Structures are given as C-alpha cells and as structure tokens.
A and B are shown apart, each in its own frame.
Chain A
Amino acid sequence: MGESNREGVPMDVAFLTIAELGRLYRRRELSPVEVTKALLARIAAHDEKLHSFLRVIEEAALAAAAEAEEELMAGKGRGPMHGIPYALKDIIETRGILTTGHSKLRQDHVPAADAELVTRLKAGGGIMLGKLATWEFALGGPSWDLPWPPARNPWNPDYLPGGSSSGAGAAVAAGFAPGAVGTDTGGSIRGPAAVCGLAGLKPTYGRVSRRGVFPNTFSMDHCGPLARSAEDIALFLGVIAGFDPEDPGSEDVAVPDYRAELDGGVRGLRLGLLDDWYEGANAHPDLAPAMAAAVALLRSGGAVVEPVRLSSLRDYTDCKTTISSVELYAIHEHDLRTRPRDFGRILRNRVLPGGLIRAEDYLEALRWRTALAREQARALEKVDAFITAASLTVADRADPSLPDRLVSAPSITMPFSVGGLPALAIPCGFSKKEGLPLSLQIAAAPFAEGLVLRIAHAYQQASDWHRRHPTLA
C-alpha cells in the first residue's frame, strides 16, 4: 500500500481501477486474495459511518478470491472481471443471500436464484463482496424510518450519496470496491455517480437483463455499472450485457468489445449541447462554468459542439413520473392495502398516487413518451451524441426534514430514461463552497454505449477529475 509498481501505478489497493487490477493480476504483482482482504478490512474500518453495505459476505468473497487466484495463476483467464471485487444494490437477487430492497417488507427474503447479471458476473470470475444500501425498492429515499440507515457520501458524511443506488455510489467512491451494479429508472445510477464523483452508466433499455431484479417501472428499469472510469465501465458492461430470452424487455443485439472502441477519440464527432437544461436558477452556480470547461476540453480534442434544443426537463419529468407512478402502484398494491405501515413514509407517499391516476392519464403519458423519444431520435440524426450535466446540484445534505422533491424538481437524468438511450455520468469538477463533485452526462442513440464510452474516455484521458478520491477519517 502506498507504493508504486514498475508501471507507475499507485498501489493503494482501495483506489485501483478494474483495468489496473487486471493488469497487475496478469503480471502477478497483486493477487485477488490480497485485494479482497484489503477491501474487506477497509469496509470493516470505515463503513460504520457510511452505511453503504447492508451486508458483507466475507467468507464467500474470500473463497471466490482464492478460486480466482488459483485460476489466474494457472493461466485460466475468464475475462476482465476475473478476480475483481464488486458489490450489488440490494434489489438484485442473490441465491441464498438476503435481498431486502432496503425494506421492512422484504427484510427476510432469501432468493432461490441469482439474477441473470449475477450469473454472468460469477461466470466471469468476479468476487461479490456484499449487498448495498438503496432507497427503499429503488424509489423511497432518503429514508430514516427503515430497518437500516441511509448511506452517506464519502466526500463528506454530512451529505448523501444520491439515490437510489446510494450504497453503490458511496461504496465505490469510498474505495470499498472498484465497481458496483446499480439500477436506474429515472437516474438512480447516474445520480449517485454524479454526486459521488464516479462514472455511472444507464445502458440502453434492454441491453442488460433485469431478470431477478425487483421492479420499479417495468418499461423504464435498467441495470448498469458504477465504477471510477469510462474504461472500467466498458470492461464491466461487457460482462453483464447481452440478450436474455427470459427478460421480456431484453433485446437480442450483439455485445461489442467496448474496450476496443474506447480509443477512437472525439475528433470530428458532432456533440449536441443541451445547455438550457442546466443554465438557470435551479442549478448549482459552479455547474455551468464546470460544463463550459468540459465542453472546451472536448472541442480541443476535435469535437464539434453545437447547441441542441429538446423539450423541457419539466416535460420529461412529468412524462416519466406519471408512467412510473402507475407501474409502481401495480407492483406494490397488495402490500399497500394489507400492510401500509411497513413501507417507509417516502416510498408509501410516492407509490400511493399511482392508485389515483386514471388509465387515460397513463396512456396519454405513454403517447407523450413516443413523441419525446422521436424528438430525441430526430435530434440524433444531426449530432452523434448529447452532452449535458448529470446533476443540477451537488449532493443533498443528510437532513430528514428536507421536503420530497421527486415531482416538484425537474430531473436532468429522466430525459434519457424516457428515451431509453444509453447515458453516462462522469465527474467534471468540484463545487467551490462544499467541495463536492459536479458531473457531465453523455448520451447517444440506442446501443451506442461504445460511442458514449469513447467520448467519456477521451475526456478522461485529458482530465483528472476521476482520479480524485475522498479521504476517509
């Protein structure tokens, strides 16, 4: 620890990337068992204050690490996640391991099978460290009335790590794991990535199987990785992406080698800048200057950046939230009728409205979604990708008295949830007053994850925001 290897890679194991770990394993300069033990010790030392893990599966993790180490020593590589520790949001089912959704309603639920993405990670030799905090069922939070406390932001534990993949954001930022899997219906991967200074990808709808993942909104649920760099997202995504005939939303589209596409640069790419979404009274004052600097960096790399206009964030947020409210109610109706007090207050009051939304309202919102998705598709005939912010604000204070802003505050992540497009958050600066991360969002056409990651990688080759880490007390 604290040393550099002969490649000049800093050997603080807690903040090595997936790509760096893989290189060090192949050179036999580091072993999965060493890494896993170091991360488990770090979790034990610091997570009491951050509450990012709901449960750590130490024995199973060490067994998986030993197996990976043996295979790697024997030259039997299983791909880029082989020997890499990761953790899962606790709505992702794990065979024989409690999967609660961070809710009293499922606090004793032990699944009989793994989610499809877990099966893929196991086959790829990944090492699961445990299950992560989430807003209740990936929606109700931050909540202080659940069986477990809300996770805190490693950059400053007086602040929250965003949501709903709150534990995933906190754990990766804290150096507890180089990557995690979250879920994103309206921004639940990108939001925590943004306010924790990480890369977080919502893939195209249908790119990663949702089988075995507790639903939030059937027509908008996505699973995807959070990690420290675009390169790591590329490596992680390649393992969990792919067609699943048992997921009705899954698409049978070939999975490319995302890592191989990373180095194309941005020269000649046309990037549509959605700056009217983040310039104004609702945004943090340091956001627009940070975005301007990011745009300048992309231009210096040869990208052509031009303004693009789509419908307002208010429109996208209304469309998404109407659809979600109805689908959520359908999922939770039985429990709402029979045990309403077992819901956290925030989740209950976000789900109940769906019971009063009429069928014609839901269908009008679905028709609106068609129009909004077409609007994005038309814009993408003129530009290769969209650029905007990934969060309008820095992290929220951990204050239980703050009002619920799900409906009232327009969301800058929901437009690409409505469109089903791949969208990635990456850090692009820090606020001056709070010292908290600011974030850039890149989105492109369906199944253009490779292009999104290529743009992000080019940005990260020319900047070092993603190399900054919090210091844990």
Chain B
Amino acid sequence: MMARDNRTDLTHLPPSTPEEIRVMARNAGLDLPDDLMRQFIAAWPAYEAMIRRIPRSRSYAEEPAHTFRPARFSGRGQPR
C-alpha cells in the first residue's frame, strides 16, 4: 500500500474496533478477564496511533539502533 501511494506512515488506517482489539489480544495469547480487557481496550488506541506515526520509508542501510558485538562476549575488543 505504501509503495503505491507514497505514504511514509500508517496514520491513514482506521482505528481498530473493540472487537478487533479483542481478537488481536487473543492472537497474542492474552486471555484477560473481561473487566481487565475493557480497561485495555480503552488504553490501546493511544498506542495504536503512536505506532502508526512511525516513519516507514528508510533505506536498507538505515539499521536498527541495537548492535551485536561478538567481541563483548569473548572479552576482547572492548573500546577504551
């Protein structure tokens, strides 16, 4: 979808409905009591909006800000 319309985030998507949130939670293995699920359904939209604001048009060279440095585990190559 983004390649077709040049959008760089997902803010155009409609918010999930309460039922969709229940399904997503179940798919994630969350089997919450109904009162706690209702609280979560009220909390989720702010997080969903946040995730959809993340820019998504990066080049392949833009790597994540976590690093795996093998020397750390061998005790060698520590910067000084």
Binding site for B on A (CB under 8 A): 219, 243, 245, 248, 251-254, 314, 318-319, 321-322, 325, 336-337, 340-341, 345, 348-350, 352-353, 355-357, 361, 363-371, 373, 404, 407-408
Chain A residue nearest to B47 (CB atoms) is A353
Given A252-B78, A336-B30, also A364-B63 (CB < 8 A): no
Given A253-B80, A349-B39, also A219-B65 (CB < 8 A): yes
Residues of B within 8 A of A321 (CB): 47, 50
Chain A residue nearest to B58 (CB atoms) is A367
Which of B32, B50, B56, B63: most chain A CB closer than 10 A? Answer: B50
Which of A325, A345, A352, A357: most chain B CB closer than 10 A? Answer: A352
Give CA–CA (A193, B46) in the complex, Å.
27
Given A340-B32, A364-B56, A373-B65, also A248-B72 (CB < 8 A): yes
Given A348-B39, A349-B40, A371-B58, also A252-B65 (CB < 8 A): no
Contact residue among A252, A336, A352, A364 (Cβ-Cβ distance under 8 Å from B54):
A364
Q: How far is the CB of A371 from chain B (nearest CB, A)?
A: 6
Contact yes or no, A370 B64, CB < 8 A: yes
Q: Interface of chain B, helix or strand or loop or mixed?
A: loop
Residues of B within 8 A of A337 (CB): 29-31
5 A-B residue contacts at CB 8 Å?
A219-B65, A252-B78, A252-B79, A352-B30, A366-B66
Chain B residue nearest to A360 (CB atoms) is B56
Given A349-B43, A361-B54, also A367-B28 (CB < 8 A): no
Give CA–CA (A363, B65) in the complex, Å.
9
Contact yes or no, A356 B24, CB < 8 A: yes
Interface flags, B15-47, vs A, CB<8A=1, else 0: 000000100110011111100100110111011
Contact yes or no, A318 B36, CB < 8 A: no
Interface flags, B49-71, vs A, CB<8A=1, else 0: 11101111010001111100000
Task: Place the interface of chain B in its size category.
Answer: 35 or more
Contact yes or no, B33 A357, CB < 8 A: no
Contact residue among B29, B30, B47, B78 (Cβ-Cβ distance under 8 Å from A407):
B47
Contact yes or no, B54 A353, CB < 8 A: no
Give CA–CA (A355, B22) in the complex, Å.
12
Give CA–CA (A371, B53) in the complex, Å.
15
Residues of A within 8 A of B42 (CB): 349
Give CA–CA (A367, B64) in the complex, Å.
4
Residues of A within 8 A of B24 (CB): 356
Q: How far is the CB of B45 from chain A (nearest CB, A)?
A: 10
Contact yes or no, A325 B55, CB < 8 A: no
Chain B residue nearest to A343 (CB atoms) is B36
Contact yes or no, B29 A341, CB < 8 A: no
Q: Interface of chain A, helix or strand or loop or mixed?
A: helix
Task: Determine whether B14 belongs to the interface, using a CB cutoff of 8 Å to chain A.
Answer: no
Contact yes or no, B66 A365, CB < 8 A: no
Give CA–CA (A251, B78) in the complex, Å.
8
Contact residue among B28, B33, B55, B72 (Cβ-Cβ distance under 8 Å from A355):
B28
Q: How far is the CB of B70 from chain A (nearest CB, A)?
A: 12
Given A348-B36, A349-B39, also A219-B66 (CB < 8 A): yes
Q: How far is the CB of A148 from chain B (nearest CB, A)?
A: 22
Given A340-B32, A340-B33, A356-B24, also A325-B47 (CB < 8 A): yes
Contact yes or no, B51 A352, CB < 8 A: no
Contact residue among A245, A254, A371 (Cβ-Cβ distance under 8 Å from B62):
A371
Given A357-B51, A361-B54, also A352-B43 (CB < 8 A): yes
Residues of B within 8 A of A254 (CB): 80
Chain A residue nearest to B32 (CB atoms) is A340
Residues of B within 8 A of A251 (CB): 79
Q: How far is the CB of A210 from chain B (nearest CB, A)?
A: 15
Contact yes or no, B80 A365, CB < 8 A: no
Chain A residue nearest to B69 (CB atoms) is A248
Contact yes or no, A368 B55, CB < 8 A: yes
Give CA–CA (A318, B49) in the complex, Å.
9
7 closest residue pairs by CB, A with B: A366-B64, A369-B65, A353-B47, A349-B43, A407-B46, A252-B78, A370-B65
Residues of B within 8 A of A366 (CB): 64-66
Q: How far is the CB of B18 from chain A (nearest CB, A)?
A: 13
Residues of A within 8 A of B56 (CB): 364
Contact yes or no, B30 A355, CB < 8 A: yes
Contact yes or no, B44 A356, CB < 8 A: yes
Contact yes or no, A252 B44, CB < 8 A: no
Residues of B within 8 A of A353 (CB): 40, 43-44, 47
Chain B residue nearest to A369 (CB atoms) is B65
Q: How far is the CB of B76 from chain A (nearest CB, A)?
A: 11
